[in-house]
Chain A
Amino acid sequence: MLNGMHTWYTYPVSTAHGGRRRVTTEARMSIRQAMLAILEQGPMYGYQLRAEFEQRTGETWPLNIGQVYTTLTRLERDGLVEVVVEEAASGNAGHGGAGEPLGSDRTHVYRATEAGRSEVSAWFATPVPRSQPPRDELAIKLAIAVTLPGVDVGSIIQRQRSATMTSLQDYTRLKRTGRAATPQDSADLAWSLVLDSLVFDAEAEVRWLDHCEARLRRAAVERGDVRTGAASANRTEGAPR
């Protein structure tokens, strides 16, 4: 993670849970705000910024260095950061990574402006809106599936539950081993909280799937059709105990 040269596409855990990942405009927004907030601590160049971001979030949302510089350019255009030239050995915060030598001893860094600082304060002061729920492929898939004849909703649910459970096992393994298990500094703690977020999210999905299954079974029983809505198992007798 400290090494800036890893591929940007690596994902530390199974992507089976990918259905609920939020990769929309709001995700790009949060990267922009997060980068700005990190810059508030002190001027940095792009690789440093990426390392600082990934130190806190693992590689859950891997940043392409091209993306980092595109975002920095936009932030600069909007007057939220400015480019400054610093002596190379001036001891910035941050970990390693290749700098951008301009001359032998100077480096090109980005610094948050006053406007950038107020944007960060506003970000922290404003709750993340849920008014526009992120598109949820699984909810959409089930919503369509239950209305179509001939779709085995029970097995869609079971397959999803196994896949999500596998992701949950992966997150839990990361939680109980590695730097999240014994956080040494605030970045490790941040990473373990991100993992907790993934765990709670996956857990909520499994609970929702259990709930869907139970409701579909009940609906099937009320219709007098004990077969539909059951998972791959085919009868509901013996259920009450």
Chain B
Amino acid sequence: MNAVLHLAAVSRVHGQGATEVHALRSVTFRARPGELVAVMGPSGSGKSTLLTLAGGLDAPTSGSVWIEGTDLASLDNAGRARIRRTSVGYVFQDFNLIPALTAAENVALPRELDGEKSKIARRLALVALEEVGIVDLVDRFPDEMSGGQQQRVAIARAIVGERRLILADEPTGALDTDTGEEILRLLRARCDAGAAGVMVTHEARHAAWADRVVFLRDGVIVDETGADEPETLLAGETR
């Protein structure tokens, strides 16, 4: 299996009985190295659930989630936390930077949590900040930066240490059009360099930067564009 991310017949049910909500219904989904996939759908279609499961922040009711060949269900909490730090980068609409830390410290944090010496973590952070084009802002705090600059820091944090799966939840949602496009350009470049990216968005113009666009409705993938391997349409193939 060469997909960086593989959701195999994944379902997620919230609640029980009368209040039972099927957020995802047997969804099979892959993101391969070098591929940026956009997930579109109305609110309530399951797109955020898909991203949460893909990042190991939540577990499926049935089916399995694989990241770089590892079934997340086979790991304990510590193991999943380690995968999240080393393989997965998250980018959120509202940046989620720690206000008391500088740009460089925010970016270095996941590496330090992973036991890297702080000098090395800082050096890796500077490489990532250089890649997103704001190496001159390394010692600024989040509130001293524009939204676009903060999102660049968040992307640097998501890619530091060569993580190969980038999960982005409405990454351009809080930004104006031009700044949003710069952020997409960065995500695109990172995927062109070999990472796999999954981006949830409701804006068609932004989804158009992806290689593949997946449409979710009521927890089911109803269609996709640009699928080069049609078998990904066959939900549940690996059951």
Contact = CB atoms under 8 A, between A and B. Distances in A.
Interface of A: 158-159, 161-162, 164-166, 168-169, 171-172, 176, 199-200, 202-203, 206-207, 210, 213-214, 230-241
A241 B222 contact: no
B233 to A, nearest CB: 12
Interface of B, secondary structure class, is mixed
Nearest to B23: A238
19 contacts: A158-B223, A161-B223, A162-B215, A162-B223, A164-B204, A166-B225, A169-B208, A169-B210, A169-B225, A203-B205, A207-B204, A213-B42, A231-B215, A235-B218, A236-B218, A238-B44, A238-B218, A238-B219, A239-B42
Contacts of B222: 158, 231-233
Contact of B208 (A171, A210, A232, A241): A171
A115 B155 CA distance: 58
B217 A230 contact: yes
Interface of B: 21-23, 42-45, 185, 188, 203-205, 207-211, 213, 215, 217-220, 222-226
B195 to A, nearest CB: 17
Contacts of A203: 203-205
Contacts of B43: 241
A235 B218 CA distance: 7
Given A162-B224, A168-B204, A176-B185, 16 more contacts: A158-B215, A162-B223, A165-B225, A166-B226, A169-B211, A199-B205, A199-B208, A214-B42, A230-B218, A232-B220, A232-B222, A232-B223, A233-B219, A233-B222, A235-B218, A238-B22
A64 to B, nearest CB: 30
A113 to B, nearest CB: 42
A236 to B, nearest CB: 6
Nearest to A235: B218
Given A158-B215, A166-B225, A235-B218, A240 B208 contact: no
A161 B204 CA distance: 10
A241 B44 contact: yes
A205 to B, nearest CB: 9
Contacts of B45: 239
Contacts of A235: 218
A214 B218 CA distance: 13
Nearest to A205: B204
B205 A165 contact: no
Contacts of A164: 204
B151 to A, nearest CB: 18
A174 to B, nearest CB: 11
Contacts of B217: 230-233
Contacts of B185: 176
B225 A162 contact: yes
Contacts of B219: 233, 238
A167 to B, nearest CB: 9
B212 to A, nearest CB: 9
B4 to A, nearest CB: 21
